Amino acid sequence: MPDSRQRAVTSAKRNALTLVAVVLGMFGFGYAMVPLYSALCEIAGFNGKTSTEAVVESGVPAVDTSRSIKVQFLTTVNGGRNWEFKPMQSSVMVHPGEFATVVFHARNTESADLVAQAIPNVAPVEAARYLRKSECFCFNNQPFKAGEEKMMPVRFVLDRDIPDEVDTVTLSYTFFDVTQSAAQSAAASPNS
């Protein structure tokens, strides 16, 4: 009997260690999803991802005043956080080639400092390659002190080559909490 009891205890320990390894693996995979998703979508142009490189305003062709396109803005916060994050205008009308600026409001409603990263998405997908930004809070991590609020501008232009059938473009941002990865990056940086 003692031998079977010892085997049962050994088996239970092995199962517990396996479960812990699976949970840690799942956590690590979930933690790595944001940067992996961003990198894959930027490389492949999937899911309406836009470039994180700023466009130089002087290199944009003249404005096409013969047509207008509605650009609407949506925001979400990942992970059920209670942060405030919204555009100050729900939409704007722009001519292709015309720069527009829209301001977003964000507030850290938590009692601790945090770092957020906004991931953009554009719909319809084919419009993503015609949307260029000269300024965007999505280019960098956004640190927030506890209770801090910010007004964050996005300056963009739709290329004149945007297809004629596109009359509405939706630019959406999802805010992710990247506090831990930002702290790890800062700790690993030789300049810190």
What pLDDT score does 38 carry?
59
Residues in contact with 63: Cβ distance below 8 Å, sequence separation at least 6, in sequence order: 95, 96, 97, 98, 160
DSSP-derived letter for residue 78 is G
Q: What are the residues whose beta carbons fall under 8 Å from the beta carbon of 187, sequence distance 6 or more?
A: none
pLDDT given for residue 9 in this prediction: 76
pLDDT of residue 49: 47
Task: Give the closest residue to 114 by CA, choosing from 30, 48, 182.
Answer: 182
Among left, alpha and beta (phi > 0; psi -120 to 50; other), residue 147 is: left
CATH code reported for the domain at 49-182: 2.60.370.10
Residues 6 or more apart whose CB falls under 8 angstroms from that of 75 comprise 85, 86, 87, 104, 172, 173, 174, 175
Hey, where are the domains in the chain? 1-44, 49-182
pLDDT tens per residue across all 192 residues of the chain = 567 778 877 888 888 788 777 777 676 666 566 666 655 555 444 444 454 444 444 554 588 999 999 999 999 999 878 899 999 999 999 999 999 999 999 999 999 999 999 999 999 999 999 999 999 999 999 999 999 999 999 999 999 999 999 999 999 999 999 988 877 777 776 665
189 three-class SS: coil
How far separated are the first and last CA of the chain, in Å rounded?
59
Q: What is the pLDDT of residue 123?
A: 94
Q: What pTM value is reported for the model?
A: 0.67
Instruction: Please say whether the beta carbons of 56 and 129 come within 8 A.
Output: no
Residue 111: the pLDDT is: 93
